[in-house]
Structure 1
Amino acid sequence: MQTLWAAKRRTLQLAEWTKQYGKIYGIFEGTRPAYVVSDVDFLQEVFVKQFSNFHSRRQTIFVKVNKARVSLFTATGQQWKRQRTVINSTFSTKKVKEMSPLINDCVTELMKKLENYSVSQKEFNIYDLYKRMSMDVICRCAFGLDTDMQNDPDNLYLQKCSQLFAPGVRRQLLAKLNVLFPFFGPLFSNLLLLQSNIQEKLNLLLPSSMSKFEELPNVWIMDRVGEVIAKRSDAAKHRVDLLQLMLEALSHEKIQDSLGDEQSIPKKLMCDEITGD
């Protein structure tokens, strides 16, 4: 793990090991074994043909900070199957065609920028452009938000998402301890939750003239998503995006996921699940 933590980019270190050990090899993340796979056939078998058997993801220390919201990435068993059943219909051919104008607008904006760089003959980092375009597509197709990230590199949504996936997140002390001692995971999650709650309370008590504690990026994103959901729930306008589909499947009653195989899976989501997804 020391090698991965010291690497400038985790992906580059894994790519180097792949050249050395092949397309399928194993590593230990602390005390937990893990496969590193770049074999396409193997990945298709796991993520496509047998995806229903590989739904339980490893819990991170940030799960409790997300205020007990269970997303598709953290759900297991029947709860995962129910969420997957609802969200699957979003990616049907019909739904994707309906969202294609939103995607095309984002791609058109990217092409304009590439054309400008071509004319100016200046060097540029295309990864940054791809990242901003991808975030634009996600915000438009998932939440109906026109964030215009491609023209606004300082956009707050972009900054918070970048912080969430930054290499430094894995190097935080609690994150490292969680890898080395996974059996203490619940304790580390509670410590992170306590830290977040204390900072939130202090921000309310501190005068406006003083600098505030910065929210954890995942907490900030969840709070903004919650605001978007609240506004959309009260709006009469029908939109074509992922959030609209999930709102149509909203259930205000607690959903039981202990159904037998012979019973149909309810195509409903609870409010916290919509926020988490």
Structure 2
Amino acid sequence: MDVISILGNINVWIFLIAFVFVAIYIHVKWKFGFWKRMGVPSPDYFPYIGTMREIKKQGIYEFDKSLITKYGRIVGMYLGSNPSLLIADPEIIKNISVKEFSKAPNRFQHFSETKNEMRHGLTAVEDDHWRFMRNTLLPTFSSGKMRKMDPLLRMKYKLLLKSLKTNADEGKPIEFKQTFGAYTMDVIASLGFGMDIDSQTNPDNLFVKYAKELLTFSFNPIIILLVLIPKLDIIFNYFNVSPLNNRRVMDFFKSAVERAIEMRDNVDKNRQDLLQLMINAHKDTDKNDMEEEQAIQDDPQKWKKRGLTTDEVTGNAIVFIIAGYDTTASTLAFMAYCLATNSDCQERLISEIDSAIGQELPTYDNVQTIEYLDRVLNETLRLYPPATRTGRVGNTELDIGGYKVPKGIELAFAIYALHRDPEIWPEPEKFDPERFSPEKKSERHPYAFLPFGHGPRNCIGQRLATMEIKCAIVYILQHYRFKPCDETEIPLKLAKTGLLKPLNGVKLLLEKR
């Protein structure tokens, strides 16, 4: 081969390599120029890594807040290669929540193709299947059902105080995130699975072990890879190594539900817990006064009232663990911290508890009469919303703030940023329960406060979570006061995980009243 032909071949390869690089460059510029072409304010991101690097560094909550502060209440961003629109405008959030409510974001759509039990849960199903399930489950969370759960809840908050008593009476600091975590785990196991596990005195219980494993999540390299290429998880799932579908954990909870259903005799069938209520839901005639039923759109006959399948009961029981364990424990810990560091608010709350119910045991009904308790809880949820971001996926092209957003784009609601917007909440870092007085609430957009979401896809279990929190706090304050100590971290550092929680726990003293 002569020199000329060799040089010719080299030139062909150089041309081909250059062509590939130019094609990749044009593709990347086009793909990641989506928001720029639409005129939506958007920072520049490293291709395919998108916002993940900043989220890992700052946490979703601070990252969202920084974007909204710098670019305004509508910001274009990317997670991996997927465009997403971050929104912190109450009126826009209202319009989307009311109209685009049948589909929530799910980056891992292939769950519907795998055997993950969560694909049967309320947060995963869509359209008429979602409407059917929402309608079926609504009576389970009616005020009448909450009252019937009082005896089961009473056992758990009594056990909570008993577990606190020794350290409280000896004047020792108590780590409340962990303590409240054991309490909420007991409540979920009892109400969701019909199991009395007593994790407050037996933290090594197998249920506790698997529940914590289910909830453990970190931005490790495999997770980041799956965010970039979600369908890779189909391969991981095939070989039973998927970090998003731990078969060992899922099989444990599926068998727990199946055993609980099989073991229920005539006495057990009268047990007033979520598991039994889900089993009987199709026969329930109760109405939920918080929400109207959703109209079935395509084929009403297909979704006529039927019982939930075992897979649907299992899927929702697992959803209740994810939605109701760590979030409720963190809210309780944040609330204890806010009361301990704002003694005037705590004294007013104690005074109202004494006046409204005295030493009566807290119940679903009597805690509703403590008006200031509601303000304290709401202000805690404003400062520390467990879910810092929620969202929807548009089924059609939408006009959002003057921008024509194609269907299928994730619309993310920046809840933490919205809750700390100084234009809506003056002195947003200050703990001030009076923000939730009737007068102040009437002046504010109702969608400026979204701890449980809003619209038809709001948190179906918010009534239960609120009762669980209020009863525990009231029962403790009937006997003790929360007090800061040398080990109390002020201000609290927050974990950089998806759900908002204190990084180093919440250490406080209990002072006997």
TM-score when scaled to structure 2? 0.41
Question: Residue 171 of structure 1: which of 220, 224, 237 is its match?
Answer: 220
Letter in 1 for 2:308: L
Aligned to 1:231: 263
Letter in 1 for 2:313: I
Residues 66-105 of structure 1 aligned to structure 2 (within 5 Å): 66=116, 70-105=120-155
Could you tell me the percent identity over the aligned residues? 24
Contact 1:59 1:74 in 2 (8 A): no
Count, aligned residues: 242
> What displacement does 1:57 show?
4.3
Letter in 2 for 1:245: L
Contact 1:141 1:242 in 2 (8 A): yes
User: Could you tell me how far apart the structure 2 residues matched to 1:56 and 1:19 are?
Assistant: 22
Contact 1:82 1:267 in 2 (8 A): no
Counterpart check, 1:195 vs 2:243 = no
SS at 1:28 equivalent = strand
Contact 2:149 2:272 in 1 (8 A): yes
Higher alpha-carbon Rg: 2
SS at 2:155 equivalent = helix
- RMSD, matched Cα: 3.5
Counterpart check, 1:180 vs 2:228 = yes
* Shift in alpha-carbon separation, 1:25–1:148, aligned structure 2, 3 A: farther
Once the two structures are overlaid, the 10-residue window that deviates more, 215-224 or 69-78, is 215-224
Aligned to 2:489: none
SS at 1:228 equivalent = helix
SS at 1:195 equivalent = coil
SS at 2:59 equivalent = helix
Q: Which runs of 5+ in 1 are unaligned?
A: 198-213, 252-256
* Shift in alpha-carbon separation, 1:265–1:51, aligned structure 2, 3 A: farther
Letter in 1 for 2:53: Q
TM-score when scaled to structure 1? 0.72
Contact 2:54 2:63 in 1 (8 A): no
Aligned to 1:117: 167
Aligned to 1:20: 66
User: Could you tell me how far apart the structure 2 residues matched to 1:38 and 1:161 are?
Assistant: 33
User: Could you tell me how far apart the structure 2 residues matched to 1:241 and 1:133 are?
Assistant: 16
SS at 2:123 equivalent = coil
Aligned to 1:4: 55
1:182-230 deviation digits (Å, cap 9, x = unpaired): 3xx2x41343243269xxxxxxxxxxxxxxxx96323322232232233
Structure with higher helix content: 1
> What displacement does 1:179 show?
0.5
Contact 2:128 2:303 in 1 (8 A): no
Once the two structures are overlaid, the 10-residue window that deviates more, 70-79 or 21-30, is 21-30
Aligned to 2:314: 275
> What displacement does 1:167 show?
2.8
* Shift in alpha-carbon separation, 1:117–1:189, aligned structure 2, 3 A: farther
Contact 2:55 2:63 in 1 (8 A): no
Letter in 2 for 1:260: D
> What displacement does 1:112 show?
2.5
1:74-102 deviation digits (Å, cap 9, x = unpaired): 11111111111111111101000000221
User: Could you tell me how far apart the structure 2 residues matched to 1:240 and 1:156 are?
Assistant: 24
Counterpart check, 1:241 vs 2:273 = yes
Question: Residue 81 of structure 2: which of 18, 25, 31 is its match?
Answer: 31
> What displacement does 1:128 show?
0.8
* Shift in alpha-carbon separation, 1:103–1:37, aligned structure 2, 3 A: farther
Letter in 2 for 1:272: D
* Shift in alpha-carbon separation, 1:2–1:196, aligned structure 2, 3 A: same
Letter in 2 for 1:93: S
Letter in 1 for 2:217: P
Q: Which runs of 5+ in 2 are unaligned?
A: 1-51, 284-295, 317-513
> What displacement does 1:127 show?
0.6
SS at 1:53 equivalent = coil
SS at 2:174 equivalent = coil
Counterpart check, 1:53 vs 2:101 = yes
Aligned to 1:206: none
> What displacement does 1:51 show?
8.3
Letter in 2 for 1:143: F
Contact 2:279 2:307 in 1 (8 A): no
Letter in 1 for 2:248: L
Residues 199-218 of structure 1 aligned to structure 2 (within 5 Å): 216-218=248-250
SS at 1:216 equivalent = helix
Aligned to 2:355: none
Contact 2:282 2:305 in 1 (8 A): no
Counterpart check, 1:150 vs 2:196 = no
User: Could you tell me how far apart the structure 2 residues matched to 1:35 and 1:134 are?
Assistant: 34
